[in-house]
Amino acid sequence: MTVEAAAAVVSTESYVFQGTINKKPPHVIGGKGVYMTIEKDGKVYEDVLDAVTGAAVGALGWGDEEILPIIEKAAKNHTYSFPSIIGNQASEDLAKFYIENSPKDVFAAALWCCSGSESNENAMKIIRQYQMERGCPEKTKIISRDISYHGFTLGALSISHCGRADLFKDISIDQTNTCLKMPVCYPYRYQQKGETEEQYSQRLLDALEKIILDNDPKTVSCVLVETLPGSSLGTVPSPKGYLSGIRALCNKYDVIFMLDEVMCGTGRCNPNGKLNCWESFIGPEDAPDIQTVGKTLGSGYVTIAGVLVGPKIRDAFINGSNAVFGSHTYASHGFNCEVALGVQKKISREGLTANIFKMGNLMGSKLQDALLKEDNIVGDVRGIGGFWSLEFVKDKATKEVFPVELDIGHRFQKVCFDNKLSVMGMQGNADGTSGDIALLAPAFIITEGDVDAIVQKVIESVNQLTKEMKAEGTW
Ligand SMILES: Cc1ncc(COP(=O)(O)O)c(C=O)c1O
Q: What is the pLDDT of residues 244-268, one digit of tens each?
A: 999 999 999 999 999 999 999 999 9
Q: How confident is the model at residue 440 (pLDDT cuts 50, 70, 90)?
A: very high
Q: What is the pLDDT of residue 149?
A: 97
Residue 420's region, left for phi above 0, alpha for psi from -120 to 50, else beta, is left
- Rounded Cα distance between 304 and 290, Å, is 17
CA of 132: how far to CAs of 125, 320, 321, in Å? 11, 9, 10
SS3 content of the chain, % helix, strand, coil (to 5): 40, 20, 40
Q: Does ligand 1 lie within 6 Å of residue 120's CB atom?
A: yes
| β-strands 378-384, 387-392 pairing | antiparallel
pLDDT of residue 20: 87
> Ligand 1 atom 3: the closest Cα is on which residue?
150
- What residue segments make up the domains of the chain, in order of their start? 3-63+352-472, 70-349
Q: How confident is the model at residue 364 (pLDDT cuts 50, 70, 90)?
A: very high
CB 156 within 8 A of CB 117: yes
Three-state secondary structure call for residue 38: strand
Of all protein residues, whose CA lies closest to atom 8 belonging to ligand 1? Answer: 116
Cβ of 289 less than 6 Å from ligand 1: no
How far apart are the C-alpha atoms of 364 and 455, rounded to whole Å? Answer: 9
Residue 138 CA neighbour count, 13 Å, CB half: 6
Per-residue pLDDT at 1: 46
Find the mean pLDDT for residues 92-106. Answer: 98
Contact assessment for residue 258 and residue 123, using Cβ atoms and an 8 Å cutoff: yes
Q: Which atom of ligand 1 is nearest to the CA of 118?
A: 11
Which residues 6+ apart lie within 8 Å of 351 measured at CB? 273
Given this model, what pLDDT does residue 253 score? 98
Per-residue pLDDT reduced to its tens digit, 198-216: 999 999 999 999 999 999 9
Instruction: Tell me the CA–centroid distance for residue 163 and ligand 1, in Å.
Output: 15
Q: Is 294 touching ligand 1 by the criterion CB < 6 Å?
A: yes
Question: From CA 406, how far away is CA 412, in angstroms rounded?
Answer: 11
* 150 Cβ below 6 A of ligand 1: yes
Tell which one of 114, 117, 426 to mutate to probe ligand 1, the residue whose CB is within 8 A of the most ligand atoms.
Answer: 117
pLDDT at 22: 87
d(CA 108, CA 299): 23
- Residue 12: pLDDT band (50, 70, 90) is low
Average pLDDT estimate for 118-124: 98
In the 8-state DSSP scheme, what is residue 228? S
CA 411 centroid distance within chain: 22
Give the distance (Å) from ligand 1 centre to CA of residue 156: 9
Task: Kindly state the average pLDDT of the residues 165-186.
Answer: 97
Look up residue 238 and give its DSSP letter: P
Query: Are the beta carbons of 156 and 148 closer than 8 angstroms?
Result: no
What are the DSSP calls for 397-456, one per residue?
TTTBPPPGGG-HHHHHHHHHHHTTEE-EEEE-TTTSSS-EEEEE---TT--HHHHHHHHH
CA 209 to centroid of ligand 1, rounded, Å: 27
Out of 52, 262, 268, 297, give the residue to mutate to test ligand 1, the one with the largest number of ligand atoms within 8 Å of its CB: 262
Which of these, 438, 2, 49, lies nearest to 230 by C-alpha position? 438
CA 295 to ligand 1 center in whole angstroms: 8
| Ligand 1 atom with the shortest distance to the CA of 261 | 1
Q: Are 128 and 146 in contact (CB under 8 A)?
A: no
**pLDDT tops 60 at residue 462:** yes
Please check whether residue 298 is in contact with residue 343, taking contact to mean a CB–CB distance below 8 angstroms: yes
Task: Decide if pLDDT at 102 tops 70.
Answer: yes
Per-residue pLDDT at 326: 87
Q: Is 398 buried (19+), middle (13-18) or exposed (0-12) by CB count in 10 A?
A: exposed
**What backbone phi and psi angles, to 5 degrees, belong to 395?**
-135, 115
Averaged pLDDT for residues 164-182: 96
Domain 3-63+352-472 top-level CATH class? alpha beta
Residue 161 pairs in a beta bridge with: 148
Contact between 141 and 178 under an 8 Å Cβ cutoff? The reply is yes
Residues 384 and 229 sit within 8 Å (Cβ to Cβ)? no
pLDDT score at 405: 97
| Residue 11 banded pLDDT, cuts 50, 70, 90 | low
The reply to whether 3-63+352-472 and 70-349 are identical in fold is no
C-beta of residue 437 within 8 angstroms of C-beta of residue 409: yes
Find the mean pLDDT for residues 134-152.
98
CA angle 129, 305, 37 (to 5 degrees): 160
The structural architecture, per CATH, of the domain 70-349 is 3-Layer(aba) Sandwich (3.40)
The rounded distance, in Å, linking the Cα atoms of 162 and 144 is: 12
Q: Give pLDDT tens digits for 55-88.
A: 999 999 999 999 999 999 999 999 999 998 999 9
What whole-number percentage of the chain has pLDDT above 90?
Answer: 94
Q: Is 296 in the pocket of ligand 1 (CB under 6 A)?
A: no
Q: pLDDT per residue over 348-362, tens digit each?
A: 999 999 999 999 999
Closest CA to 441 of 272, 299, 344, 343: 299
Q: Which phi and psi (to 5°) does residue 74 adopt?
A: -65, -40
Q: Whose CA is nearest to atom 4 of ligand 1?
A: 150
Q: What is the pLDDT of residues 277-309, one digit of tens each?
A: 999 999 999 999 999 999 999 999 999 999 999
Tell me the H-state helices in 319-407. 334-349, 352-371
